[in-house]
A and B are shown apart, each in its own frame.
Chain A
Amino acid sequence: MKILTTVKRVVDVELNIHIENGAIVEDGLQYVINAWDENGVEAAVQLKENNNAQTTLVSIGEQDNTDMIRKCYAMGIEDAILIDDPALVAPDAFAYAGILQKVYEKGDYDLVITGKQAQDTDSGQTGIILAEYLQLPCVSNVISIEVMDEAHIRVSRLGDSGTEIVEITLPAVVTVSDSINEPRLPAMRGIMMAKKKKIQVMDLAALGTSVEAVGGAAPKSEVAEFMKSKTRQAGQKFEGDAAQITAQVVELLANEAKVF
């Protein structure tokens, strides 16, 4: 089984984000691997270890994606492709999916694993649109993957009224939730080996496409403005005798907030 797993480099959500004139201030930002993609990488590596799958990773971005890719090598990914093209400016999910479609078609993959969403946009579209473009079956929000035979996997996904068990005929696309696994911390030996591994860098021409062809030149939607989110104000905090402060808070809930 050949697996293609996608990883995006995103802004670290744990740090503060400042906005000026409708844009995010780059200064002081840090970038990390998208957490859900890291779950995808872990899932791919587990399939390698348990089911002899071959693992290829693809990332779309710039040279500074290489640190993240090396981390994935250290986790156990075998091959990596970096799509780096200066013509790509702020691609939307459709453009990402268009590029991934070309990457998919160049390989002979049985399964594509993406994170269920990226932490910078929180959109959750790319993997699903990719499947539409490729006319492949797709299951999103997956929390387990089990290989049935060479042509079938059984997955479970979190649905609206419970855990849905779905049997999928390969090739297919799945998007994974963080509930699927706990990504491993790479061992020292893996980290050392990852340093020496090659990363295949391609631009869109090498992929046999162009920014126009993937819809990157005319996005279907674009961010016109970033704004600060309305942060809630910290309210009243009570410390001291539990009986006394709890009674006080209940009184406020009833008479000030009027929730009871």
Chain B
Amino acid sequence: MAKILVIADIKEGVLKGSTAELLSKAKALSAQTAVVAIGSNIESLIADMAAAGSDTQYIADDKSLELFSAGPYAACVVAAAQQFEADMIWFGFSEAGKAAAPRVAAQLNAACATEIIDVTLEGEQIQVIRPAIAGKVIQRIQVNTQTLVAVVRAGAFEATPGITGTQNMVKLSIPAPDLKAVIKQILSDASGEIDLADADIVVSVGRGARDQAGIDLVRELARDLSAGFGSSRAMVDGGFMAHNKQVGQTGKIVAPTLYMAIGISGAIQHLAGMTGSKTILAVNKDPEAPIFNVADYGIVGDLFEVIPILRQEIKKIRG
């Protein structure tokens, strides 16, 4: 039986849904499952981690692990992987995962694959599927080592309803802090708005909104829908939107039920972050904008005119 170790995705004291998604996939592969949880004050989440489908919980809980630092984070994962004798180590999609996965692979002499969207296991042979070249192609990758470290793309797997596990906590020793790369501070861009990764609906604004007034207009639509409020890079570069709002290859990869692209042209790097969405609506005044090639519904029009009507019509329907 293969053994799959999933890195628990914890943010602001909450276990994120991606953990159950990855564990569900692991169970679907008939694997033995464990999680490794790294942070400060997280022991209380053990029950949640078991409920998400893990049968062992490796815990590194220490004040020194409060702020993300790739070195100690990777050291905890390596320790858990070795104790569990993991065949696969899966990170959910996050900047922490992207930073730590190659380190873990190098230390375990394992193969490494990022942004995977599927994985198969036949006997001992592991294969993964992942997009490359900004999403223009899909690669089937053959893994030649016994162990694979992978970063799973957001939205790749679904949580199995009713999944459960068992509580079996194993404490890891706390690694020494990285004294050569010291994290001093996090300038949080927490805006009180919904995290893009969690949002069922994402409304994103592009250069078509022009300025702060345009952005505020589109933000109202996002508020009405309790949606995540995202952005193209153009509006981040322009200083209007925070970095963590950027959707695309360099930003967040999102796969909500509904993605609304407002005044966004649909550059390949933006598409790479949102074409996994279930339904896409685009509003753009240029009928030739490439965003319409991926949109299920397209409104050709001036967003300054369309958005107020859109808000009104949605209110009518949703009550």
**A interface with B by C-beta (< 8 Å):** 11, 13-14, 17, 19, 24, 93-94, 97, 116, 119-125, 128-129, 131-133, 136-141, 143, 154, 156-169, 172, 177-179, 218-232, 234-239, 242-243, 245-247, 249-254, 257, 259-260
Minimum CB–CB distance from A216 to chain B (whole Å) comes to: 13
Report chain A residues within 8 Å CB of B12. 161
Distance from A171 Cβ to chain B, minimum over Cβ atoms (Å): 9
With known contacts A14-B268, A223-B139, A229-B136, A169–B298 Cβ distance under 8 A: no
- Whether the Cβ atoms of A94 and B133 lie closer than 8 Å is no
Q: Which residue of B68, B250, B275 contacts A160 across the interface (Cβ within 8 Å)? A: B68
Residues of B within 8 A of A122 (CB): 114-115, 131-134, 249
Cβ contacts under 8 Å, B278 to chain A: 257, 259
Q: Is the interface of A mostly helix, strand, loop or mixed?
A: mixed
- B102 close to A128 (CB less than 8 A): yes
- Whether A226 lies near B139 (C-beta < 8 A) is yes
Asked if B181 is at the interface (CB within 8 A of a chain A CB), the reply is yes
Given A122-B131, A128-B102, CB of A253 within 8 Å of CB of B300: no
Instruction: Determine whether the beta carbon of A221 is less than 8 Å from that of B145.
Output: yes
**Which residue in chain B gives the minimum CB-CB distance to A250?**
B313
Nearest-Cβ distance from residue A112 to partner chain B, whole angstroms: 14
Q: What's the least CB distance linking B89 to chain A, in Å?
A: 14
Which of the residues B98, B99, B189, B299 comes within 8 Å of A249, measured between beta carbons?
B299
Residue-wise interface mask of B (138-160) relative to A, using a CB-CB cutoff of 8 A (1 in contact, 0 not): 11111111001000000000000
Q: A94-B106, A140-B98, A235-B295 are in contact. Are A166 and B134 (CB under 8 A)?
A: no
List, in ascending order, chain B residues with CB within 8 A of A17's CB: 133, 136-137
Is there an interface contact between A229 and B280, defined as CB atoms closer than 8 Å? no
In contact, A137 and B178 (Cβ under 8 angstroms)? yes
Contact assessment for B258 and A253 in the assembled complex, using a CB-CB cutoff below 8 Å: yes
In the assembled complex, B201 has its CB within 8 A of some CB on chain A: yes
Our pick among B95, B102, B268, B295 for the contact of A158 (Cβ within 8 Å) is B95
Chain B residues, Cβ within 8 Å of A163: 186-187, 189, 243
Alpha-carbon separation in the docked complex, A254 to B16 (Å): 28
Instruction: Choose, from B48-56, B162-170, B303-311, the stretch at the interface.
Output: B303-311
Binding stretch for chain A, among B30-38, B79-87, B204-212, B286-294 = B286-294
Task: Judge whether A166 and B144 touch: CB under 8 Å.
Answer: no
CA–CA, A36 to B140, complex, Å?
24
Interchain CB contact under 8 A, A24 and B137:
yes
B279 an interface residue at 8 Å Cβ cutoff? yes
Q: Is B1 part of the contact surface with A, judged by Cβ < 8 Å?
A: no
Whether A19 contacts B137 by the Cβ 8 Å rule is yes
User: Cβ of B67: which chain A residues have Cβ within 8 Å of it?
Assistant: 164
- Per-position 1/0 for B259-290, Cβ under 8 A of A: 00000000011000001001111000001000
CA distance A232 to B281 in the complex (A): 13
**Distance to closest chain A CB from B257 (angstroms):** 6
Contacting pair B138 A159 (CB below 8 A): no
